[in-house]
Structure 1
Amino acid sequence: MAQPTFPPLMQGQAVTAGADPFDRARALAALGCDAGTVVHNVQADRLRAALVVAPEVPLADAMAMMPLCGVGFQNALGALAPPEVAVHLGWDGTIRVNGARCGTLRVAAATDAPDAVPDWLVVGLDVAILQTAQAPGATPDVTALHDEGCAEVDPQTLLEAWARHTLNWINRWDGAGNAPLHGEWMGLAHGVGEAVEQGGLTGTFLGVDERFGMLLRDGDQTHLLPLTTLLGDR
């Protein structure tokens, strides 16, 4: 099988079938690999990938890479899937296709100090292509791309498209800041105006602040949950 093709400034690295690209990307990042490295594991039933970036801004601002990668995925699948396929993004990294959970984004960084500039930041993507454990319809809130009209979407082509669209958004973010990304993400956000539970708190999801922190209304009090609360172990 031919290796994926990535745009300039990005380079791919495949891992073996049983390996987690997110873990591998974190290890490579800690060793000082080039920014733009995309570690990937493309299988018939599952697409996993992780992008290494080298932020030049404090972590609190660099965390925008997580929603940015989600928007990049929506743009990529939107270009490849039938027009009736809807993709929405949860604040916690959940990817929903036609309303059901189909994948996740997760993030790790070299530091968890919001005001520090991290040496590296990794965003991981994990998307179900085929459901193997359950028959279609057995778990209505969990789905896979093939069950949602995307049987013609090739996982490797989707990976390549995700890289291209994500790089495009990184370039826009570099030039224009959070505003265009904020507008795009809010149009795709899942659960705004609904009751949610996040970080041990329950309330109404009002939206996000300028740094994509969750605004959670609990009675007369509004809580702000910064994106850094979603950081995984380093």
Structure 2
Amino acid sequence: MSALSFPPMMSGQEVSGADDPFSVACVKATMGCDAGMVFYRIDADRMSAALVFAPEVPLADAMAMLPTCGVGFQNALGALAPPEVSVHLEWTGPIRVNGARCGRLRVMASTEDPQATPDWLVVGFELTLMPLGDDPGLTPDDTALFSEGCADVSPPLLLEAWARHTYNWIARWEDEGTKPVHAEWRGLAHGIGEETTQGDLTGTFLGVDEQFGMLLRDTETTHLIPLTTLLETP
């Protein structure tokens, strides 16, 4: 694979062997690697990448990078895929292409304290390129990118586009706050207005608050589920 092109303040490092870019990014972040590093891996059947952040705000605010990276991914695939291909984002991380799950977003940070400023935060994504089984009809809620009319989408170009669009949205977040990201994400969100279960709670997904916490309405009250509940632990 030829060298990929990344926006200013970002640089890429390909992960080889069986290593997972998200895990590698978290280890490198712990060791003090530069913010803006993108660790990635592109195989025949799947691709994945992870971006390292060095937040200057408390974790509760820095978690906005999860939906920001999701918006960046949707914009990237939306620009490269045929116009009839739809891309939506679940609050919990899954990426849906034409209504079926095709990948996911992940997040980890150096702390789980919402009020603490993390030393680092890593957001990653995984995307299935080729069907995992011989009979996709057995798993109708799961799909692969190349099964959804996107066989001509180049994974390296998609990765470059994700970095570029994400970079632009980070810049807008820094300049304008969460409002533009919030507005863009809400238009891409999957399941708003529908019944959903999150942890021990079941209710109607009303949307998100200014920090992208889930608003879940049951028969008695509206619950706020912070985005920090999606953090993975080492």
TM-score by length of 1: 0.98
1:7, distance to aligned residue in structure 2 (A):
1.2
User: Could you tell me how far apart the structure 1 residues matched to 2:136 and 2:76 are?
Assistant: 24
Match runs of 1:4-153 below 5 Å: 4-153=4-153
User: Could you tell me how far apart the structure 2 residues matched to 1:137 and 1:163 are?
Assistant: 33
User: Could you tell me how far apart the structure 1 residues matched to 2:134 and 2:124 are?
Assistant: 24
Q: List runs of 5+ in structure 2 lacking aligned partners.
A: none
User: Could you tell me how far apart the structure 1 residues matched to 2:196 and 2:154 are?
Assistant: 34
1:137, distance to aligned residue in structure 2 (A):
3.0
User: Could you tell me how far apart the structure 1 residues matched to 2:122 and 2:87 are?
Assistant: 22
User: Could you tell me how far apart the structure 1 residues matched to 2:124 and 2:219 are?
Assistant: 35
TM-score by length of 2: 0.98
Percent of aligned positions with the same letter in both sequences?
65
Cα deviation, 1:179-199, whole Å, max 9, x if unaligned, reads 000000000000001010112
Q: Is the 8 A contact 1:92 1:230 kept in 2?
A: yes
User: Could you tell me how far apart the structure 2 residues matched to 1:122 and 1:145 are?
Assistant: 24
Task: Write the letter of the residue equivalent to 1:11.
Answer: S
Which is further off, 193-202 or 131-140? 131-140
Q: Is the 8 A contact 1:17 1:41 kept in 2?
A: no
1:139, distance to aligned residue in structure 2 (A):
1.4
Q: How many residues align?
A: 234
Q: Is the 8 A contact 1:136 1:147 kept in 2?
A: no
Task: Write the letter of the residue equivalent to 1:23.
Answer: S
User: Could you tell me how far apart the structure 1 residues matched to 2:212 and 2:113 are?
Assistant: 17
1:138, distance to aligned residue in structure 2 (A):
3.0
Q: What is aligned with 1:215?
A: 215
SS in 1 for 2:38: strand
Q: Is the 8 A contact 1:43 1:155 kept in 2?
A: no
1:44, distance to aligned residue in structure 2 (A):
1.8
Which is further off, 3-12 or 122-131? 3-12
SS in 1 for 2:141: coil
Q: Is the 8 A contact 1:22 1:49 kept in 2?
A: yes
RMSD: 0.9
SS in 1 for 2:205: strand
User: Could you tell me how far apart the structure 1 residues matched to 2:204 and 2:132 are?
Assistant: 34
SS in 1 for 2:137: coil
Moved over 4 A (4+): none
